[in-house]
Amino acid sequence: MIQRSANGYAQLTLTFALTLTLGLLQWPLGEVRGQGELSPAVVLQQLLSRYGDNGTISVPQLRMLLTRLNTQQNEENDTETCTHPTTLTNHCLAAGTLAVHGLSEQSHLDGPGLREFCPTMLQQLDARACRAQQSQEPEPSPRPTDAEVWGFGFLCVTVISLCSLVGASVVPFMRKTFYKRLLLYFIALAIGTLYSNALFQLIPEAFGFDPLEAYYVSKSAVVFGGFYLFFFTEKVLKMILKPKEKGGHGHSHFPVDRHGNGDVEDGVMEKLQNGEVGGGVSLPRVDGEIRGDAEEDRMLSTTQAVQVSSGCYWLKGQAYSDIGTLAWMITLSDGLHNFIDGLAIGASFTASVFQGISTSVAILCEEFPHELGDFVILLNAGMSIQQALFFNFLSACCCYLGMAFGILAGNQFSPNWIFALAGGMFLYIALADMFPEMNEVSREEEEAGGSGSLLTFAIQNAGLLTGFSIMLLLTIYSGQIQLG
């Protein structure tokens, strides 16, 4: 006599029940013989009511049903000598399996659809695909510890804040041709990283999506492809047609030499040559003429004596009352901007170390050219070298305060709202702020045409594609990034 274990009887009972259910579902749904009589239609509706919603069942709910059925097969079944097909997938209702029926993760099945899908459900149970997925899927990575969140956050914000001090080191090279081309590359790099970080990281996190899903990453790449296609087409058409008008506008933070005289750079260089002692900084000219007597009177005298500001001997320069209003507006707006940057960094590190590093890389690429432009504007508004460095660094330190608020909010509440805010901010900065700035920096060489125009176009493309590639690789290989 063949001895069957209790486990074998359980499997036989499950197979018999599924076979009976499949046979019942072959009956037409409309053959309901009575209100209280059990019929195939009633059984089907009971399944949809228990495991679905509103008379339909979604793909995730189907997985839950199959997982529930697989609980009848415990680990002792693994010792049996039954052979399972080797061509079957190890994942429960994988994308390829769903595609055979024209389904996706967002699909819902009604009664007839579920009846048609029953053979596939039996195949998944026979292959133990759902149970295999449940046992083979790695556990979700734990949230970073407080030490990791604060440590990595403080390190990244410090590196970003140091960008505000780089401005003084590059001022002597401002009149060089390679400086503008280098700045153009960094602006394009900032656009690529900010835009891609919003697409690949911040927006999916805000909606609760998993950015590691291949279907999401590929669609996000197509979104960037649409943006890049129109950018490429527009630039090529402009180079071919070579328009003569010089219209357009932009709110560039970097005062490029679009007036032909380079007065801003001359004023900055004069300050350096005078040892930061009251060098006169003239206002920009328009078509080679000074704007007028009223603004001419506001020029700083080259013989003006050095004053000590607020008792700080090392922070010497013009009195605060003599500094233009533009300098304070730039300082305050940068402080608010950096606070929001820190908010995004802090919230990102509470989600994962990878998310925080990815956001920090995007902000770093944006801050480098941004801080260079702000430094030049502060000098032109009347500040000395020391004052410009101090207030530029002071506004950058607001990032620390934002990081602290972001970490506290991310630990106490869901950081998805902060990700949504940061995603919108990144898109605005990339497309509405830095994109016109990139056009302003490259306008002179583009209008001149020739090899200089082609080189400028190549630099823009290199920066955009580099930023996109950095964010794409960080997203794809985030699971392999291990820190600590």
Q: Which string of DSSP letters, residue by residue, matches 289-305?
A: B---HHHHTTSPPTTPP
Domain total of the chain: 2
Identify whether residues 166 and 116 lie together within a single domain.
no
Instruction: Name the residue among 234, 224, 181, 236 with its Cα closest to residue 459.
Output: 181
What share of the chain has pLDDT > 90, as a percent? 10
Higher pLDDT, 236 or 282: 236
Higher pLDDT, 166 or 267: 166
pLDDT tier at 123, thresholds 50, 70, 90? confident
Digit-coded pLDDT (tens) for 62-100:
888 777 777 655 444 544 444 444 334 457 777 778 777
pLDDT the model gives residue 483: 54
User: Quick check: 134 pLDDT over 50?
Assistant: no
Q: What angle do CA 201, 207, 210 make, to 5 degrees?
A: 55
Q: What residues pair up with 316 in beta bridges, in sequence order?
A: 308
234 domain residue, yes or no: yes
Digit-coded pLDDT (tens) for 385-399:
788 788 878 888 899
pLDDT the model gives residue 214: 54
344-377 in b/e form (b: 16+ CB < 10 A) is bbbbbbbbbbbbbbbbbbbbbbbbbbbbbbbbbb
332 domain residue, yes or no: yes
User: Quick check: 117 pLDDT over 90?
Assistant: no
26 domain residue, yes or no: no
Mean predicted confidence (pLDDT) in 10-20: 55
pTM of the predicted model over 0.75: no
d(CA 403, CA 293): 46
Instruction: Name the residue among 330, 331, 362 with its Cα closest to residue 344.
Output: 362
pLDDT the model gives residue 213: 58
Higher pLDDT, 133 or 219: 219
pLDDT the model gives residue 22: 54
Identify whether residues 113 and 223 lie together within a single domain.
no
pLDDT the model gives residue 451: 78
Decide which of 113, 134, 155 is a domain's last residue. 134
Mean predicted confidence (pLDDT) in 215-229: 89
Higher pLDDT, 64 or 280: 64
For the record, the structure tokens of 167 come out as: 């401005």
Instruction: Name the residue among 256, 190, 198 with its Cα closest to residue 434.
Output: 190
Identify whether residues 122 and 218 lie together within a single domain.
no
Q: How far is CA 428 from CA 1, 194, 340, 399, 400, in A?
A: 77, 9, 13, 19, 22
Q: CB neighbours of 433 closer than 8 A, spacing ≥ 6? A: 251
pLDDT the model gives residue 303: 32
Q: Return mean pLDDT, the chain.
A: 71
Digit-coded pLDDT (tens) for 346-390:
988 988 888 888 888 888 887 777 777 677 667 777 777 788 788
User: Quick check: 254 pLDDT over 80?
Assistant: no
Identify whether residues 180 and 207 lie together within a single domain.
yes
Residue 481 CA, chain-centre distance (Å), reads 17
308 domain residue, yes or no: yes
Identify whether residues 251 and 217 lie together within a single domain.
yes
Sequence-ordered alpha helix ranges (H) in 198-320: 203-206, 214-241, 263-273, 293-296
Identify whether residues 128 and 158 lie together within a single domain.
no
pLDDT the model gives residue 126: 77
Identify whether residues 400 and 305 lie together within a single domain.
yes
106 domain residue, yes or no: yes
336 domain residue, yes or no: yes
Identify whether residues 468 and 339 lie together within a single domain.
yes
pLDDT the model gives residue 469: 92
Identify whether residues 176 and 123 lie together within a single domain.
no
Identify whether residues 104 and 252 lie together within a single domain.
no
The four Cα atoms 312, 314, 318, 324 give a dihedral, to 10 degrees, of: -90
Identify whether residues 319 and 458 lie together within a single domain.
yes
222 domain residue, yes or no: yes
Q: What is the Cα gyration radius of the chain?
A: 32
- Whether the CB-CB separation of 364 and 159 falls below 8 Å is answered with yes
Q: What residues pair up with 109 in beta bridges, in sequence order?
A: 57
The range of the structural domain enclosing residue 106 comes to 53-60+98-134
Identify whether residues 103 and 218 lie together within a single domain.
no
Mean predicted confidence (pLDDT) in 239-257: 54
pLDDT the model gives residue 228: 94
Decide which of 134, 159, 186 is a domain's last residue. 134
Residue 57 sits at φ, ψ, to 5 deg, of -135, 135
Most confidently modeled range among 20-34, 135-149, 331-345? 331-345
Digit-coded pLDDT (tens) for 294-324:
333 333 333 333 344 444 544 555 555 556 6
432-452 in b/e form (b: 16+ CB < 10 A) is ebbbebbbbbbbbbbbeeeeb
Digit-coded pLDDT (tens) for 172-191:
777 777 778 888 888 898 89
pLDDT the model gives residue 153: 93
pLDDT the model gives residue 404: 93
Q: CB neighbours of 325 closer than 8 A, spacing ≥ 6? A: none
30 domain residue, yes or no: no
pLDDT tier at 156, thresholds 50, 70, 90? very high
- Whether the CB-CB separation of 430 and 156 falls below 8 Å is answered with no
Rounded to a whole number, what is the largest CA-CA distance in the chain? 114
